[in-house]
Amino acid sequence: MRDTWISEVSSKEGEEVTIAGWLKDVKKIGKLCFLIVHDSTGTIQCKCEDKPNVRKESAIVVKGKVVKDERAPGGYELAVESVDVVGEACCPPPFPRKGDVSLAVRLDNRVFDMRREEVQAVLRIRSALLTEFRTFFASKGFVELTAPVLIPSASEGGAEVFRVDYFDKPAFLAQSPQLYKQLAVISGMDNVFVTMPVFRAERHDGPAHINEIYQMDVECAFADDDDVVSLLKHAITHMLNAVKQTKRHELEVLGVKLDVPEVKEITYDDAVDLLSKHVDIEWGADFSREMENKLCQLLGTDLVVVRRYPTAIRAFYSMPCDDKHCKSFDLLYKGVEISSGAQRIHDYNLLKKVMEEREMDERQFTAYLEAFKLGAPPHAGWSMGLDRITMLVCGLQNIREAIPFPRDKNRLMP
């Protein structure tokens, strides 16, 4: 129906084009009428002799000649030959396009909300981050693994898992592809990545909490924590640089200046020493959001990898490096944890011992444990939260804004 995207109009001066989009606004100036039309690539002014009979927000197809005019926003307009209303809006919009609207009202009317330029910019940046994650690892020969969502037991031994009625038996929704990416690596696939929705049945309902999360995972065979921390630093730098270059327009719409900070590393112990001069912290505790923020501030960068956490506060499969620490790490971006990983225990006997010490129910992990008898190489990996990175890159206050159709304790609609 269209032969030209609105972003291409300016390159077709004097030509007759057909655009398609939504009627954002109508302005009457003297005898003339101006239609402001947008598609996903931009906005254009269309000049008519007569005001067409069409409601705002309708889907229209406009045919016209491209005219250079300095008075038009963007410097070009269409001299309209015909306006075809192909999808009439049959009610007024739920709220004005511009101006303050509460997030709850926005999300209740998400389809209309997504018609706003800022929201589309966020969703395009989200899409780009995901693409660039995959591109980075595919270019390094990693294979994409599709891990199951339906699993027989809680993936990491956590309690906060959703239960499914699976043919009169219980099944659960994956909290992470963790165990499956490890199985794939042990199976000889060497290096894999996974991008998938995961589910946490947490009852929190704050601005940083949602229950369906989009996660990006990596796992490497014959690798230790040094190897995958190095990959992590390169991956995040690539992703931010790529968005900075390819999503200029979207960042501009959001008024965001995207920096790609230097990545600094610090051990957990050094971080505790450093923080203890400023806040009340004891060795062995996990960092609060405020401490993570402070740490980035003290190190003078927005990207910090904290390494070698106390074993007691990390997942059971983290490889110990001494009697107190393990080869685990977190990546903080703008003071928020966006990635978490570790070298994993690959020795069957050690894994069994650790699970016993933590009083885990081994029967829930039979298939996982058995795999470590088959010749498991040293391996390491991490996962990254797409929703959080999108929120931070776009400078949003609530993670729900970073997701097309967010899910929380109280929201399953639309």
Show contacts with a copy of itself in window 169-198 (CB under 8 A): 169, 171, 173, 180, 183-184, 186-191, 196-197
Question: Considering only 26-34, 70-78, 298-306, 405-413, which stretch makes contact with a copy of itself by CB under 8 A?
Answer: 405-413
Which of 302, 303, 305 is CA-nearest to residue 271? 305
Q: Tell me how far apart the alpha carbons of residues 181 and 344 are, in angstroms, rounded to a whole number.
A: 12
Q: Tell me how far apart the alpha carbons of residues 59 and 78 are, in angstroms, rounded to a whole number.
A: 17
Number of residues that bind a copy of itself (CB under 8 A): 102
**Residue from 44, 151, 218, 342 in contact with a copy of itself (CB under 8 A):** 151
Say if strands 303-307 and 263-267 run parallel, antiparallel, or are unpaired.
parallel
Question: How far does CA 48 lie from the centroid of its chain?
Answer: 42
**Burial tier of 337 (Cβ tally within 10 Å: 0-12, 13-18, 19+):** middle
Asked whether position 283 contacts a copy of itself by CB under 8 A, the answer is: no
Question: Considering only 19-27, 42-50, 228-236, 308-316, which stretch makes contact with a copy of itself by CB under 8 A?
Answer: 19-27
First vs last Cα of the chain: how many Å apart?
29
Asked whether position 57 contacts a copy of itself by CB under 8 A, the answer is: yes
Q: Tell me how far apart the alpha carbons of residues 192 and 180 are, in angstroms, rounded to a whole number.
A: 10
Q: Concatenate the DSSP letters of all residues of 148-191 into one string.
A: -SEESS-TTS-S---EEEETTEEEEE-S-SHHHHHHHIIIII-E
**Residue from 272, 303, 376, 389 in contact with a copy of itself (CB under 8 A):** 376
Angle at 174 between CA 238 and CA 404, to 5 degrees: 55
**Residue from 16, 33, 55, 265 in contact with a copy of itself (CB under 8 A):** 55
Asked whether position 43 contacts a copy of itself by CB under 8 A, the answer is: no
Asked whether position 146 contacts a copy of itself by CB under 8 A, the answer is: yes
Asked whether position 407 contacts a copy of itself by CB under 8 A, the answer is: yes
Asked whether position 149 contacts a copy of itself by CB under 8 A, the answer is: yes
Q: Tell me how far apart the alpha carbons of residues 324 and 357 are, in angstroms, rounded to a whole number.
A: 14
Show contacts with a copy of itself in window 67-106 (CB under 8 A): 86-91, 93
Asked whether position 21 contacts a copy of itself by CB under 8 A, the answer is: yes
Q: Tell me how far apart the alpha carbons of residues 155 and 149 are, in angstroms, rounded to a whole number.
A: 10
CB of residue 380 to a copy of itself, shortest distance in Å: 11
Question: Considering only 42-50, 210-218, 258-266, 318-326, which stretch makes contact with a copy of itself by CB under 8 A?
Answer: 210-218
Asked whether position 412 contacts a copy of itself by CB under 8 A, the answer is: yes
**Residue from 37, 38, 317, 355 in contact with a copy of itself (CB under 8 A):** 38
Show contacts with a copy of itself in window 106-145 (CB under 8 A): 110-115, 120, 123-124, 126-127, 130-131, 134, 138, 141, 143-145
Q: Tell me how far apart the alpha carbons of residues 305 and 325 are, in angstroms, rounded to a whole number.
A: 16
